[in-house]
Structure 1
Amino acid sequence: MVANISRVESAVIDGRARTPRYIQRQLFALHDALSRSLPDIARSIASDGAVGTAEAWAEIAKTMEVVKLEYANVNPAQCIESEYSLARGKENAQRRLPYGCAFIIPARHTPFYSIIQPVCASIATGNCVVVEIAPSASAVARLLATIMAAVLETDTFAVVDQLPAIPSSLRGQVVVVDGSGKTARDIGRGAAIYLETPHSRTVAVVDRSSNVRAAAKDLVRSRMCFGGTSPYAPSLVLVNEFVLDDFCRAATESLTSLLHSTGSTQGGKPRRGGALDSSVQKAVDQQEAEMIVSTAAGSIVVLRSR
C-alpha cells in the first residue's frame, strides 16, 4: 500500500494524469474491462443484498452510461487549442487545472455505481485516484478492485485497504469523496475539498398543488427500490392535509402495485424496511398514528400527533 501511494504521489507532482490522450486510454481500458465482466458484476450486486436482477442490471446500465459519457466529453483538439492559446495571442480565461488526486471511500448503496462514477469523474478531470476497498467490503467492491487494478495505470491509480493520511506534499491537492457517511477518521485533514454523502434523514414535502398520484408513485419507489438503502430515500413525508387522503390512497395503490410486480423479496432475500421505527411503533400503539397499510416490505403510517 505504501509503495502504491508513493507512486501516485509522484504522478500527482508530475501531472502525469492530465493529458487528454492518457485520460481517454484509461477510460477506454476501464469500460472494456467492465464490459467483459458484466455477468459477474450483476451476480455480485445481487448477492450483496436485497437487490433483484432487474435492479442490478439497471445500476449497471446507468454506470456504463457514465463511463461512456465521461469518455465522450474528452476533447483532445480543444485541449491543445486551449494549451497553445497564449502562444497565439489569445486569452485563456477558461483554463482549469485538476486538484491532483482523489481519495474515494465508496458508499454502501449501489456500490457499483458509487465506485465507478467518482473514479471516472476523477480520471476525466485529470486526477490520480486512490480508492479504499477493505477486505470486508461487498462482493462487487472486491471484484471491482481486482478489475480496476488490472487495467488502470499503477502510477496514477491505487486500491488500498484503508486510506492513509494525506501526505504533506499533497496538502491542498486532494479531493476526498466520502460516500460512507460515517467516517470518524481525520481523512479530510489537508484536503482541498471534502465531499461527504449526507447521513441525516431525508424529508419530502407534498403540497396541495402537487400532482398527488405522481408524487406518491415516485416516493414509494424511492423508498422501496434497491432495498430502501438510498441515503436520499425519504424517511418522512410531509403532506398537506387537504390532499392527505388522496395521497394515502395513491401511495397504497403504488405500494401494492410495486410489490405485485416485483414481489416483497428480491433474489429470495427480504427487502429492508418491513419493521417500523421504534418511535413510530410507539405512536401507533398509543393511537397517535394510523396504520394505513402494513406489509413485510414496508408500511404506510400517518402520524396524527406533531
Structure 2
Amino acid sequence: MEVGGDQWLCGWRTRAAEHRVSQLEALRRFLDEKKQPILDAMASDMRKPPFEVELSEIVLVKNEVNYALNNLSSWMKDEFVEKNLVTQLDTAFIRKEPYGVVLIIGAWNYPLNLILVPLVGAIAAGNCVIIKPSEICSSTEKILAETLPSYLDNDCLAVVTGGPAETTQLLENKFDYIFFTGSPQVGKIVMAAAAKHLTPLTLELGGKNPCYVADESDLQNVANRLVWGRCFNAGQTCIAPDYVLCSAETQEKLLPALRQAITQFFGPEPRESPDFARIISDKQFQRIRALLGSGRVAIGGQTDERERYIAPTVLADVQPSEPAMQEEIFGPVLPIITVPNVDEAIAFINRRERPLAMYVFASDSKVDMGWEQGPASLPRA
C-alpha cells in the first residue's frame, strides 16, 4: 500500500470548498438514511440502547457536520497577521493547507462517533482519509466498510478493516497525519510508528477520572449524575467518573442515594432494563469482573458471563493499592475512597497520572475555589 503526499489529493479536488461541502452533506445523508441499520448494528455489538446510540453516536456527529458546514467558508479564508520589521514590505498571512492523507483509527466503545467526528474535521480541512474502524464492533465495522463508501468520494476515502495485524501493516506506511483513539498501550505503538516518518498525530487516550464530593453537597443530585455518567454505555466511556473521593460520613450518606438512582434509572433488576448496555467482549468482561474484589460491594455486583452483563456496582471503602485503582475501569463499577478533607483529595489526585476529566460536587463555592487555586497540574471538567 502506498499512501501519503499530494498525489492523493485527487487532482486537488479535495481543496475545493464545493467538494468539502458535498462530502459533508453526503455524510449527513448517510447518518439519516442508515439510522436504523446503525441502531441494529450497535444493538448486535453491545446491546447499546437506541437512545444512547442516537445521542452519543448519531446526533453528536450530525452536530459536528452542521458546525463544519456553517463555518467552513470562514475557516478557509486567509488569516492576515501583524507585520514585524522583517515583513514590513510584504503581505503577511496564514493560509490553511490540507495535510494530505489522514489516517483515523477508531475505538470500539463509540465505534461510529470516534471514527466520524475526526472524519468531519479531516474532510472540512480538505484531506483524503483512510479510516480504520474497530474490528471488535464487527457489525458497526461492516456498516462503515460496506455502506459509507457509497456516499463519499471513493478516490478520497478508503475504509480498511481487520485486526491488530492489519493495523500494524497500515502503520508501516507514511501518512501526513494520524488520529488515534484508544488505550495508552496501543497509543505508544501508534506514536512510535508515526515517529519513524515524523508524522504529526493526535492521541485521545484514557485515564482514571476522579470525582470529589464535598460533605455539604446535594447527595441525591450527585448520585443521579454519577450513576448516569458511570452507567451510560455500561461505563465504557473515557470521560466517565472512574472513582469517588469523599469523607467516610459522606460515603455512608451517598450509598442509599446511589441505590435509589440506579433503581430509578434501570428498575429493580437492571439486567432486564432495555436502557442498560453490555460489556463489549469476553476479555473486557473478565477484566472488569476481576476488579469487583476491591473494597466491599455495597451495591450491585451481579454478573452474567453469557450475556457479558455486569450490574451497576458501587464498591465502598476501596484502598488505593487495590486492583480497581490500578487501571481505568471502563465498566459500570464505581469505587469510593474515603479522604478526610479536600486537601487530601487534591494530594491524592496529584500523586497519580493526569486524567482526562475531573468532577467536583460542592454546594459551597469556596470548596470549588479551593480546586481552582490548587496545583497547576490539576485538571478540571
C-alpha distance in 1, partners of 2:107/2:223?
27
Report the CA distance shift for 1:7/1:156 in structure 2 as closer, same or farther (over 3 A). farther
1:105, CA displacement in angstroms?
A: 0.9
Is structure 2 residue 241 aligned with structure 1 residue 244? no
Match of 2:182 in 1: 180
Contact 1:50 1:266 in 2 (8 A): no
Residue of structure 2 aligned with 1:29, choices 1, 26, 30: 26
- TM-score, length-scaled by structure 2: 0.64
Partner amino acid for 1:216? A
Contact 2:5 2:100 in 1 (8 A): no
C-alpha distance in 2, partners of 1:213/1:230?
22
C-alpha distance in 1, partners of 2:266/2:251?
22
C-alpha distance in 2, partners of 1:304/1:261?
25
Residue 95 of structure 2 aligns to a residue whose secondary structure is coil
Contact 2:227 2:262 in 1 (8 A): yes
Partner amino acid for 2:21? Q
1:230, CA displacement in angstroms?
A: 1.3
Residue of structure 1 aligned with 2:68, choices 46, 53, 70: 70
Contact 1:50 1:226 in 2 (8 A): no
Partner amino acid for 1:224? C
Identity %: 19
Match of 2:210 in 1: 203
Alignment of 1:38-57 (within 5 A): 38-57=35-54
1:106, CA displacement in angstroms?
A: 0.8
C-alpha distance in 2, partners of 1:253/1:241?
19
Report the CA distance shift for 1:54/1:210 in structure 2 as closer, same or farther (over 3 A). same
* Structure 2 alignment gaps of length 5 or more: 81-88, 303-310, 321-381
Is structure 2 residue 300 aligned with structure 1 residue 294? yes
C-alpha distance in 2, partners of 1:192/1:7?
10
Aligned-CA RMSD value: 3.5
C-alpha distance in 1, partners of 2:238/2:269?
22
Partner amino acid for 1:298? P
C-alpha distance in 2, partners of 1:196/1:262?
38
1:103, CA displacement in angstroms?
A: 0.9
Q: Deviations over 1:98-138 (max 9, x none)?
A: 33232111111121111211111111122221111476652
Contact 1:130 1:157 in 2 (8 A): yes
Partner amino acid for 2:193? I
1:14, CA displacement in angstroms?
A: 5.9
Partner amino acid for 1:299? T
* Paired positions, count: 288
Contact 1:106 1:178 in 2 (8 A): yes
C-alpha distance in 1, partners of 2:318/2:134?
44
Contact 2:78 2:93 in 1 (8 A): no
C-alpha distance in 2, partners of 1:25/1:262?
47
Alignment of 1:147-296 (within 5 A): 147-161=147-161, 162-163=166-167, 164-165=170-171, 167=173, 170=175, 173-174=176-177, 176-181=178-183, 182-183=185-186, 184=189, 186-189=192-195, 190-208=197-215, 210-260=217-267, 263-265=270-272, 271-272=278-279, 277-278=289-290, 280-281=292-293, 283=294, 289-294=295-300, 296=302
Match of 1:18 in 2: 15
C-alpha distance in 1, partners of 2:290/2:135?
33
Partner amino acid for 1:229? Q
1:262, CA displacement in angstroms?
A: 9.3
C-alpha distance in 2, partners of 1:70/1:149?
20
C-alpha distance in 2, partners of 1:81/1:279?
53
Match of 2:105 in 1: 105
Residue 225 of structure 1 aligns to a residue whose secondary structure is helix
Residue 193 of structure 2 aligns to a residue whose secondary structure is coil
1:258, CA displacement in angstroms?
A: 1.2
Which of the pair has the greater relative contact order for Cα pairs under 8 Å at 6+ separation? 1
C-alpha distance in 1, partners of 2:182/2:78?
40
Residue 97 of structure 1 aligns to a residue whose secondary structure is coil
1:139, CA displacement in angstroms?
A: 0.7
C-alpha distance in 1, partners of 2:249/2:171?
54
Partner amino acid for 1:24? V
1:195, CA displacement in angstroms?
A: 2.3
Contact 1:52 1:266 in 2 (8 A): no
C-alpha distance in 2, partners of 1:166/1:12?
20
